[in-house]
Amino acid sequence: MQGNPLLDFSGLPAFSKIKPEHVKPAIDFLIAECRTLTDKLSAQTNPTWQNFYLPLADVNTKLSQVWTLVGHLKGVKSDDAIRKAHEVSQKSMTDYSTWAGQHQALYQAYLTLKASPEFQQYDLAQQKAIDDVLLDFRLSGISLPEDKRADYAKIMQTLSELGSKFSNNVLDATAKWEKRIQDPAELAGLSERALAAAKESAESKNQSGYRITLDYPSYSAVMTYCENAALREEVYKAYVSRASELSDHTLDNSPIIDQILAQRFALAKLLDFDSYADYSLATKMAENPQQVLDFLNDLVKRSRPQAQKELAELAEYAKTEFGVPTLNAWDVAFYSQKQKNSRYAVNDEALRPYFPEQKVLAGLFEICKRLFNLTILQKDGVDVWDDSVRFFDVFDGQNQLLGSFYFDPYARENKRSGAWMNGVISRQKLADGNLEKPVAFLVCNFTKPLKDKPSLLLHQEVETLFHEFGHTLHHLLTQVDVAAVSGINGVPWDAVEYPSQMLENWCWQAESLKLISGHIDTGEPLPDKLLENILQAQNYQSAYKMGRQLQYGLLDFRLHTEYQPTKAGFVRQIANEVEAQVSVVALPPYYRFENAFNHIFAGGYAAGYYSYMWADVLAADSFSRFAEEGILNREVGQAFVDHILSQGGTRSPMALFKQFRGREPRLDALLKQQGIL
């Protein structure tokens, strides 16, 4: 295996040397190593942390790192070769995971370790790591008879393949659609910057005129600013019917959704759960499906009257000011922007010059310096997968390196849409006693710089950056030395979004907005009047926006709670019911949001999308302490690090929250913050 860059663990990944043909040999080699060591160490009569857990964790962590790298490259630099390499090795990874999860001798060795006197001497992280492994065994069907274990293996393999196919279809359907426009009059309303981006996009394809795509910056610009209602409708229809029977049939995700739900239901039944939602909650904070449904339905009940009022006011505004008789789904963003501007003198596009990407980043780092005593420095000369990617080191107050992250900010072809953070290396004390520092990928899809002009962010994109940086801090500031529960590892899924939602709050405070804004031409921060307007506009359509998240959360949870294999047309039926219950906008019959819902069909959020709202409650209530004691108060910031960011998955999020806040969370904190109470 010499010469395979994926197997060089001496430093950071050598991205410029990694090729798709390296994937299979590296994964096969590491899996073989893991299998051999598993068999060998499981046969010991006296397993201990040193002779059993650590050496096994070391080799499995290497496999996990390499697989994360491969998945990362598939997301940020996707082509047929890397997809094929990923697909081939995904089968091997799933096979290995199932094999290890049903390895009887390995299970017995962990049970022996748990029952040993030594276990009582372990620290919290060590005990939690072992307890988590034992829970994973139970959820992997360890106690099933042999034929049922084979069924489990088959289901997991099928689900793995279906999830990959789902996300590939979304990526391909998004990339396939384009609209070429020659006459700029058809794009009236778009900013100079958006027009320049559309022109540059056309030039990149050797086309004349302008090119509109379904990449989010292009889609969003048309929906929010284009005066051409027919074009808005055309782009909206293409976007909300991606990967459905209404677009390219070869990329239709409808049958894949049916198969995924059927396989998940079969998995839950195999493991003696009533539904996949019950299975999903076995590793989450929420206690049972009814608790989640009550939580979501309660928020719908509390927020919907205000959402209806917000939309009625928008419809009246569009009718009175622009003579629009009926407000359609593709009109909402367009007239909302106009209403928001007329009401608060806030034009999102006009705010861009105040948020040059470098200034926002510098301000974010300054906030982290004041709050958490961190110094964040760019490091040059690091091997990256694209020229626009940068690398940063994060140091504590004693100038000790805590961890590092790659920042991939811009949208480009063959890159998955959205924004995310992935931990590629987790903090851990290795078997040889050395401490490995954590490394993360922070990925966004901002509009790239145009020729000589830097990237200018929408305020919404500033929020996205803060959100993903919250995840990044959670991963990098951990003080836990066991990889399985360090950083975001081992944190219940419905608490993972807590630090990320929390950090968004600093995008809505005058003191911090001054730090992250600086006009591209003058360097001046947001003027006081504009700042005041932005803060007044913070809760503009807050109930409507909450409703959209609740709609996605309920759709996900009901699909996974109520699924029965005999129900024909089940997915659309539930989608229609949830839309009728929650949405205050009349959605067209071609609306197929679920067909591109990567979070739940190709990500980790199946029966877990409610986590965003759940975490919002924790974040809003936690931030109220900063609001009371000072939003840049170092003492409170340090308490948040000590009780939340540094703890990894060692303790229950509720216990950690109570330590930080001194009490149980209150739902009212979120409703007050969003102006709904």
pLDDT tens-digit series, residues 514-545: 999 999 999 999 999 999 999 999 999 999 99
Instruction: Clarify whether 118 is annotated catalytic.
Output: no
Structure tokens at 611: 């986590």
Q: Which of 357, 436, 468, 504 is catalytic?
A: 468
Cα distance from N-terminal residue to C-terminal residue, the chain: 62
Domains belonging to the chain, first-starting first, are 5-143 (1.20.1050.40), 177-242 (no CATH)
Integer CA distances (angstroms), 116 to 45, 53, 120, in order? 11, 13, 8
418: alpha, beta or left, given left = phi > 0 and alpha = psi -120 to 50? left
Residue 392, beta-bridge partner list: 378, 405
Using alpha carbons only, give the angle 643, 649, 654 rounded to the nearest 5 degrees.
Answer: 55
Q: How far is CA 317 from CA 42, 324, 338, in A?
A: 70, 9, 9
Does 248 have pLDDT greater than 80?
no
- Report whether pLDDT(350) > 80: yes
pLDDT (tens digit per residue) in 593-638: 999 999 999 999 999 999 999 999 999 999 999 999 999 999 999 9
The dihedrals phi and psi of 102, each to the nearest 5 degrees, come to -120, 20
Q: Give the count of beta carbons closer than 10 Å to the beta carbon of residue 627.
A: 14
3-state SS class at 493: helix
Q: Using one digit for the tens of pLDDT, what is the confidence trace for 188-206?
A: 999 999 999 999 999 999 9
Angle (CA) 35-40-43 rounded to 5° is 125
Stronger pLDDT, 71 or 450, i.e. the higher one? 71
The answer to whether residue 365 scores a pLDDT higher than 90 is yes
pLDDT at 1: 64
- Residue identified by tokens 């590092």 is 404
Q: Residue 385: its pLDDT value, please?
A: 98
- What long-range pairs does 335-342 form, CB within 8 A, spacing at least 24? 336/540, 336/541, 337/224, 337/225, 339/313, 339/314, 340/537, 340/540, 342/317
- Average pLDDT (489-504) is 96
Q: What's the whole-number mean pLDDT along residues 286-304?
A: 97
Averaged pLDDT, 444-461:
93
